[in-house]
Amino acid sequence: MEKKYYHEYEDYEDGKTAETMVGEILADPEFQNIDKLIIGDWGGAYEDSCQAVLDAIADNADKFSHITSLFVGDMDYEECEISWIIQGDYSRIWEAMPQLKEITVKGSTDLKLGKIKHSNLESLTIICGGLGSDVIKEIEEAELPELKKLLVYIGSENYGFDGDADTVRSLLANSDFPELEYLGIADSEIQDELTAVVLDCKYIDSITTLDLSCGTITDKGGELLLKKLPELKNLKKLDLSYNYLSDEMKEKLTAAAPAVEMDLSDSQEADEWDGELWYNAMVTE
């Protein structure tokens, strides 16, 4: 069973904040039946971080021992723009929740993962408008022997991404996720470059799902996929939703790997400004 806890604007005006949220969760008679815990707007997420929530979970670790899935920051743009969500430091969560199988974090402002060491985590997802290289490095150095799914939104340099293709190359070269099945390097404004990096990484011959969605992939990245797809006998799914691919390229990709389930939906057109074409990732601000 999953349940989402959140504060509406009126609740925030009445004094409900991140500091009060965990008390409300623990007082909920349904809480003991929940295994998937979703934290929405904790109240003024654009002004205050979720640190009080994270600390309270760690301080009451025994009371959260039945939670196997945690999502912190589940809110839409009407509640808080993704680049405005003030996150927190997750350093204590890894030890406090050894039973955790899945964690999703939305927002990257003030985000710190700390030293990630966890024996049971199977899924790590970071959704944001721009991911800092310091956080990417923390993922690179993570000890996650059971990790099956890694999905990171790279985003825009205007909203937090301060790296380049080599930053992602280092992540994929130096990380050690022996059980990885799903690799997602998504939402990038340099998606063609990152496609080249991903297709050359050590995980490419073993993963079953490749997610390059939400970014600015064009026919240049499509050509790279065309050359590599016939070799990827392991691949079952390819997510290229939200793309700048031509119809011709989509047809070629589908024909090149008929056994692969492809999502080529949500095609975009580049914006033209002063004679120059501009490509935008799906999630930025």
Reply yes or no on whether the pLDDT at 285 is more than 90.
no
Distance between first and last Cα of the chain:
32
Residue 89, classed as helix, strand or coil, is: strand
Q: Which domains does the chain have, with CATH numbers?
A: 2-278 (3.80.10.10)
**Average pLDDT over every residue of 87-93:** 98
Query: Would you state the structure tokens that stand for residue 252, as one six-digit string?
Result: 């070629």
Q: How far apart are CA 228 and CA 212, in angstroms?
A: 14
pLDDT confidence of residue 11: 84
| 156, 132 contact by CB (below 8 A) | no
Residues 200-221, mean pLDDT to the nearest whole number? 98
pLDDT tens for residues 101-148? 999 999 999 999 999 999 999 999 999 999 999 999 999 999 999 999
H or E element, residue 113: none
Average pLDDT, integer, range 243-247: 98
- Tokens standing for residue 207: 């993963």
Write the DSSP symbol of residue 109.
Answer: B
Q: What is the pLDDT of residues 11-54, one digit of tens each?
A: 888 888 899 999 999 999 999 999 999 999 998 899 999 999 99
The confidence score (pLDDT) of residue 181 equals 98
- Average pLDDT (211-236) is 97
> How remote is the C-alpha of 62 from its chain's centroid?
27
Query: From edge to edge, which strands make up the β-sheet containing 237-239?
Result: 2-5, 36-39, 69-72, 102-106, 123-127, 149-155, 182-188, 209-211, 237-239, 261-263
d(CA 72, CA 166): 29
Pairing verdict, β 271-273 and 276-278: antiparallel
pLDDT tens digits for range 117-129: 999 999 999 999 9
CA distance 202 to 21: 42
Confidence class for position 274, pLDDT limits 50, 70, 90:
confident
pTM for the model: 0.96
Q: What is the DSSP letter of 62?
A: G
**pLDDT tens column, 171-189:** 999 999 999 999 999 999 9
What is the arithmetic mean of pLDDT over 260-282? 93
For the chain, give the mean pLDDT. Answer: 96
